[in-house]
Amino acid sequence: MGRLMNVRWIAAALGVLVLAGVCVQLGRWQLHRLDERKARNEVTRTNLAAPAAPIDQILGPPGVVGDQHAWRTAVVTGRYDASKQVVLKYRNVQDKPGFEIVTPLVLADGKAVLVDRGFLARQSSELMPLHVPAVPAGEVTVTGRLQRSERGGRTNGGTPDDGTARLINGPDYAKVLGIDLYDGYLTIDKQQPANDPAFSGFPGPEIDDGPHFFYALQWFFFAMLAIGGLVYFSRQQVRGPGPAEPVVAVRNETPEPVKHGD
């Protein structure tokens, strides 16, 4: 019996050590994510402060908006192609559900860029916006912020279907719309002629460290808790059970029956 208990104790101790190791690794992973977020925030601050420039000068021949370009201000001039406009469904801006309207802007060289013209809040429970503002006629100059193509893992939300989609993805849109698109898109800061006032703009980026540091502390605390519990119960196991309680004999105080004579 004692040998069986010893095996069980060793197995339990190994389990606790594995659990503590997992907690430590999760804490380190959160610190790694914190470092990545700080680096991304630094790039965002730099891009926000950079002067506006033509999109081809920013992206170069590859024409791909990468992490290093996010929130950089680009200037494009061209004509909207309303026939290839896409309504983004199930969007949410500042806790308001609604739609975003994405329209290709065809540039002078024939290449096009997707422009997110703005947000239309949902009025009730409609599945499509009640009214989509028309695009300006003629040549348009847009100054806006570059964003990476959105990706939804294995979902096909970035592929337009019957003029609607859930994500903005340059390569996926290009296949369906049949036009040469930049890989990425542009949100409007300023437009000439002016953008329709029915559209709402978008908030800027969140530049903070997020909760990663505090999550890391929590995982490290769980690891210490597991190790501390193991040490405590190990000491209890080594000490063994405490001294047995003394057995106190109880005298039978019941009086013997009295015998009466005849």
Q: How confident is the model at residue 208 (pLDDT cuts 50, 70, 90)?
A: confident
The dotted CATH code for 52-192 is 2.40.50
Answer whether residue 247 shows pLDDT above 80.
Answer: no
Residue 143 has what pLDDT?
A: 97
Please give the mean pLDDT across all residues of the chain.
Answer: 87
What are the structure tokens assigned to 205, written together?
């980026």
Of 182, 195, 193, whose CA–CA distance to 107 is shortest? 182
- Strands (E) in the chain, as ranges, are 53-54, 73-80, 86-93, 96-107, 112-121, 140-147, 164-165, 181-192
- Average pLDDT (172-194) is 95
Residue 3 has what pLDDT?
A: 58
Q: How confident is the model at residue 175 (pLDDT cuts 50, 70, 90)?
A: very high
pTM above 0.85, yes or no: no
Q: CA 80, CA 83: separation in Å to the nearest integer?
A: 9
Answer whether residue 258 shows pLDDT above 70.
Answer: no
* Cis omega (within 30 of 0) for bond into 197: no
Each residue's pLDDT tens digit, 57-80:
999 988 999 999 999 999 999 999
User: For the chain, how many helices (H) and strands (E)?
Assistant: 4, 8
